[in-house]
Structure 1
Amino acid sequence: MDMVSPHTKNTTELRDRKRTGEILMGHGYKRGAAKLIGVLVALVGFGLVHGRPVDATDKVRIALSVRNVVFLPFYYAKDRKIYHKHGLDVEIIQMRSDLQLAGVVSGEIDYTPAIGPATLGAANSMPVKAVAVLYNAPLFSLVTPASVSSLEDLEGKRVAVSRIGSDSHRFGSLMLENGGADSKKVTFIQTGSTTVSLASLQQGAVAAAVLSPPFTGIMAEKGFKVLGRSRSLVESPWLGLVTSKQKLERQPEEVKNMLLSMRDVITAIQRDKADVISYIEKNFKVSKANATESYDEIAGVIVDAMFMRDDQIKKYLEGTHARGETSKLLAPEDLFDFSLVRGLK
């Protein structure tokens, strides 16, 4: 998922690959920039790539594509010291979603919430596991000027997405098809960031944009129309907790503490609605109405148990394969491992 917000105040962005190398060398490794997925898979197969060992003083690194309210559980857990309660010193790193899996496999980062990219990675033999599901539906919307009356009106026009092949592109296509439009007759424009998508929509350079909270609400407040929402289309393990097989095997206690933290933050989000809305309003600099709408959207897709049934997972995997997104049909156990989350006390 690629969404860009101007509010990245408390997020560390790995834009300097030299700095990344220095961080890794501090742990006894000499790695350069993130390697191509195929190279990483080959190296792991020969046992040449190892996860970063974690001790009491090490930070646990979580990669998010942007500082955005969609990732609320991760930010709220950090700012409310929920991670600290479970002995974790978490650093949240901003990293493009298409680089996150490579970072997980190399040990540059420890966790990513991106289940969609992990599904594609697992189909290409990347050694990753999704150990939890936090949201059971994507939170994208198709936003248009008020003059657009139906999704069919978008045929022959341009629609902004963050990146071709990203979740915004995939679910944008699904929303169009569900609304009666032929997505093949729509030209998807890769903007690279939500900021550019917003500007393009406001300036009339595109006829629609695929957005997520809080940007959906921001544009609605400006008079734009929400013509489709992806959460009403499909039940899908969209946001979760993905790590490497190596970490799961070698550091199960750390993974368990991450899961305990995520369980606690889900409970807090559901219990403390007023505080969470205030937090969204303050930290993401949106109106109270927008913060409330964002909260309601997130609360509506949260998975209390942090796992989904096998039949739900199978349906998701069959759908990705049927749409040609994966080269082979995955079995649930090829990607998902809910053994730790099921055993939480």
Structure 2
Amino acid sequence: MKKINIVGVPEHFNLPWHLAIEDGAFHDRGIDLNWTDIPEGTGRMCQMLRDGETDIAIILTEGLVKDIVAGNPSKIVQVFVQSPLYWGVHVGSSSAYRNMEDLKGKKAAISRFGSGSHLMAYINADNQGWDYSDLKFEVVNNIDGAIEVLTEGTADYFMWEHFTTKPIVDKGIFRRIDDCPTPWPCFVIAVRDEVLSKNSSVIKHVLEVINIYTADFKDIPSIDRMLSNRYEQKIVDIQEWLSITRWSQENITPITVKNIQDQLAKLNIIESSLPYSKIVTNV
């Protein structure tokens, strides 16, 4: 039995992994896939890949590309979710800010530098035509930290996945001003180079299993109810999310990697670009 450590956010996107683990699908191929939830998100998972604390990460595409350019010894082996991620732009319920323009020059709460909440603040600023060199940030680690600073008013807005934060909006803790979708596939499967060199056949089996589950995921009977119960979401919100979410069984394309690097370079998030083969590999 080969032990493989894998990490991802504790969100509804990753239910196919949990179902496959619970069904023993990886175990049947001689793989002990050890899943750990990482609520801090992409910045923390990048560090775990660097430190050898995990073998695989289900991670935001732009955050991983940025970190590989910065020296993270990992590769993208496949797209996991092909559709964009819809980042809700949130303020505290008592905030005076009512529209996107009100947030110009204000402070964004982020989980950590290099995280999706950090990078998407730049994408959002660019979309709005703001001077993104003036962006200000406060590190809050996770959603609980964001609730605290937005409620206290020490930060002004927080970007996080629309449906994950929907219950917080419904409770009147956050107010959503708008959504900012990623201009590329949102989640990829990343593997450390050392693991790829030593256990590429194991990683190939992991991909084969998860691709079976994602290909049929939406056809699972009462999958909307299962997701609603597990992730404490209203079933109508889960049904909307399922309608716009597409999983993938293919690798990321060269043009997509180029577009991501071009955008990150434009925003001064990376200073140089890498060839496709230094970011992506096939197993």
TM-score of Structure 1 vs Structure 2, range by shorter chain: 0.7 to 0.9
2:200 equivalent in structure 1? 252
Q: Structure 1 residues 278 and 312, CA, compared in 2 at 3 Å: closer, same or farther? A: same
Q: Deviations over 1:201-236 (max 9, x none)?
A: 3455543221214433113323554333232x512x
RMSD across aligned C-alpha pairs, in angstroms?
Answer: 2.8
Question: Larger % of strand: which?
Answer: 2
Quick check: 1:229 aligned with 2:179? yes
Q: Is the Cα contact below 8 Å between 2:49 and 2:72 reproduced in 1?
A: no
Q: Structure 1 residues 330 and 250, CA, compared in 2 at 3 Å: closer, same or farther? A: same
1:122 equivalent in structure 2? 68
Report 1 or 2 for greater relative contact order, CA contacts < 8 Å, sequence distance ≥ 6.
Answer: 2
For 2:166 and 2:72, how far apart are their aligned partners in 1? 37
1:73 equivalent in structure 2? 16
Q: CA deviation at 1:252?
A: 1.8
Paired residues, what number? 276
Unaligned runs of at least 5 residues, structure 2? none
Q: CA deviation at 1:250?
A: 2.3
Q: TM-score, normalised by structure 2?
A: 0.83
Q: Return the letter of the residue paired with 1:288.
A: I
1:290 equivalent in structure 2? 237
Q: Return the letter of the residue paired with 1:89.
A: D
Q: TM-score, normalised by structure 1?
A: 0.69
Q: Is the Cα contact below 8 Å between 2:79 and 2:248 reproduced in 1?
A: no
Matches within 5 A, 1:18-29: none
Q: CA deviation at 1:62?
A: 0.3
For 1:312 and 1:148, how far apart are their aligned partners in 2? 34
For 2:258 and 2:15, how far apart are their aligned partners in 1? 27
2:3 equivalent in structure 1? 59
Q: Structure 1 residues 75 and 172, CA, compared in 2 at 3 Å: closer, same or farther? A: farther
2:259 equivalent in structure 1? 315
Unaligned runs of at least 5 residues, structure 1? 1-55, 341-345
Quick check: 1:162 aligned with 2:111? yes
Matches within 5 A, 1:1-345: 56=1, 58-64=2-8, 66-95=9-38, 97-104=42-49, 107-114=52-59, 115-136=61-82, 137-144=84-91, 145=93, 148-202=97-151, 204-223=153-172, 225-231=175-181, 233-235=182-184, 237-272=185-220, 275-297=222-244, 299=245, 302-337=246-281, 339-340=282-283
Q: Structure 1 residues 278 and 242, CA, compared in 2 at 3 Å: closer, same or farther? A: same
Q: CA deviation at 1:121?
A: 3.5
Structure whose CA Rg is larger: 1
Q: CA deviation at 1:131?
A: 0.4
Q: Deviations over 1:188-209 (max 9, x none)?
A: 2221111121243345554322
